[in-house]
Amino acid sequence: MSTPRFLLTAGASGSGKTLITCGILQAFHDRGMKVASFKCGPDYIDPMFHTKVIGTKSRNLDTFFTDGDTTRYLLERNSRGCDLAVMEGVMGYYDGVGGTTVKASAYDLARTTGTPAVLIVNCKGMSVSILPYIKGFLEFQPDSQIKGVLLNQMSPMLYPRVKSMIEEELQVKVYGYVPKVEDCVIESRHLGLVMPQEVQGFQEKLKKLAAVLEKTVDLDGLLSLGETAPPLTISEEAKQPLEQPEQTGKALRIGVACDQAFCFFYEDNFQFLRDRGAELVFFSPLEQEHLPEELDGLLLYGGYPELFGKQLEENETMRKDIRKAFEKKMPLMAECGGFMYLHEYFEDMQGQARRGVGVISGTAYHTGKLSRFGYIQVQSKSGTVFGQEVGMSPAHEFHYFDSPNSGEDCYAKKPNSSRGWDCLHSTETMLAGFPHFYYYGNPKLAEAYLKCCQNYQRANKRRT
């Protein structure tokens, strides 16, 4: 049996999706329910807010990265044992790849997974005009999947009349409203929302919002809507390699940088590695003086190294350890912020150059604007990554920093566009650059990395 599920979406970014999603998650959590949560798209930060609410890791679902079977498998697997799965959309409901398609939109995820969607409508400054706004979303696609509406910033006095108009004229159920709740705001930063731990009194604010939503939102109705979602179908051909992946043999110890400076993770990437026999050893380049012992590989993901430049620079022993590991041919993957940290220097947010690991020549610098962002398809020019043929890999870029030495070993092509650029440093033992990878998008990429780690383990006769 599939877990009951629904998707919360909106007509545009800034409509209150994340805050309302967190409030609804909190409300169900306060009822004693076990809730799974998902974010549509490649976003790292929104799932951190979900995780803070429900206490277990939130996941991403992205139909650019994964095909239909894999997307449904990940949703089903990560919802097992839960009472409800809540999915948060991305951008506007129909906004997809290239700005001109619905591919990888929240709508695409809803139809791929057969999930009923609830449209959050920001009603500020509208009354009757709310109806044609909703009507457009309902009718733009014949299989819109929109089964309900939630009215944000709605006057309690006006709500009953607007609800009646919508349900009578548009034949779609209204599941309540969200009044303006003072002090329940999530601030933003250059890469999106600030981190959950930076929001003062975040848990108290959510409790306050959840208490309001218990009164103004039909939570029982949303749960009933979720129960109408059909079972998730996954072909046996696709399921077998996902459920029984090839093991690496002896357990590999993979060091993963993990702290406030390096915090952009796809939880399913970790699960992908663990499923194949890897042991993940988390360490902090901010707090720890040395790398963990007996490692077979290193992962430096993205985050905010620019906010902690002084601290990272002053931790000289850690920088030396990483450089020595690289020189000894320990397999290394680095993305975005982790890639910046590998440079000789990287600028902090004050524009001051800070010493990095020194593996990549040059200085990573702040551009003051989004340098490159959005989905890309990455192909190695040599045809191999970590010495293995991996083919094309879907990826994502989003950064305000750049480098005079971004790498030229791979080519990134924008989908549905003629644009493209050189990217990534790719050697027999390293892949480092600005692109972020989701391992289920091309399993061969991460499996090539693990194979390289195996070879390193054998060469160094570890745990024999």
Per DSSP, the three-state class of 92 is coil
Domain that holds residue 38: 5-236
User: In terms of domains, do 200 and 327 share one?
Assistant: no
Asked if the structure places residue 36 within a domain, the reply is yes
Cα gap 124→378, rounded to integer Å: 42
Is 179 within 8 Å of 210 (Cβ atoms)?
no
Asked if the structure places residue 288 within a domain, the reply is yes
Q: What is the CATH number of the domain that holds 20?
A: 3.40.50.300
Mean pLDDT (the chain, rounded): 92
User: In terms of domains, do 278 and 309 share one?
Assistant: yes
Beta bridge partners of 178: 152
Q: Which residues have CB under 8 Å from 464's CB, separation 6+?
A: none
State the pLDDT at residue 399: 85
User: In terms of domains, do 400 and 444 share one?
Assistant: yes
Asked if the structure places residue 244 within a domain, the reply is no
The residue among 207, 236, 265 that closes a domain is 236
Residue with more model confidence, 251 or 226: 226
What's the whole-model pTM score?
0.93
- Nearest CA to 97 among 79, 86, 87, 109? 109
User: In terms of domains, do 156 and 257 share one?
Assistant: no
The answer, yes or no, to whether residue 365 has pLDDT greater than 60, is: yes
Cα gap 370→368, rounded to integer Å: 7
User: In terms of domains, do 218 and 189 share one?
Assistant: yes
Asked if the structure places residue 325 within a domain, the reply is yes
Q: Which residues have CB under 8 Å from 76's CB, separation 6+?
A: 2, 3, 232, 234
Alpha carbons within 13 angstroms on the beta-carbon side of residue 261 total: 26
For the sheet with 343-347, list strands across it: 353-355, 343-347, 360-366, 401-402
Beta bridge partners of 60: 39
The residue among 209, 236, 263 that closes a domain is 236
Asked if the structure places residue 241 within a domain, the reply is no
User: In terms of domains, do 324 and 298 share one?
Assistant: yes
- Nearest CA to 339 among 438, 433, 425? 433
User: In terms of domains, do 225 and 254 share one?
Assistant: no
Asked if the structure places residue 133 within a domain, the reply is yes
User: In terms of domains, do 183 and 144 share one?
Assistant: yes
State the pLDDT at residue 110: 98
Asked if the structure places residue 447 within a domain, the reply is yes
* Number of domain units in the chain: 2
User: In terms of domains, do 353 and 326 share one?
Assistant: yes
Asked if the structure places residue 376 within a domain, the reply is yes
- Nearest CA to 165 among 198, 209, 126, 214? 126
Q: What is the pLDDT of residues 437-451, one digit of tens each?
A: 999 999 999 999 999
User: In terms of domains, do 359 and 383 share one?
Assistant: yes
The catalytic residue positions are 336
Q: What is the pLDDT of residues 237-291, one digit of tens each?
A: 999 999 889 887 778 999 999 999 999 999 999 999 999 999 999 999 999 999 9
- Nearest CA to 1 among 327, 242, 229, 254? 229
User: In terms of domains, do 332 and 197 share one?
Assistant: no
Token representation of residue 382:
């040599």
Q: What is the pLDDT of residues 18-73, one digit of tens each?
A: 889 989 999 999 999 999 999 999 888 877 877 777 677 789 999 999 999 999 99
User: In terms of domains, do 361 and 425 share one?
Assistant: yes
Q: Which residues have CB under 8 Å from 237's CB, separation 6+?
A: none
Per DSSP, the three-state class of 352 is coil
pLDDT band at 186 (very low <50, low <70, confident <90, very high): very low
- The helix (run of H) or strand (run of E) holding residue 152 is strand 146-152
Q: What is the CATH number of the domain that holds 283?
A: 3.40.50.880
pLDDT band at 227 (very low <50, low <70, confident <90, very high): very high
- Nearest CA to 259 among 311, 216, 314, 316? 311
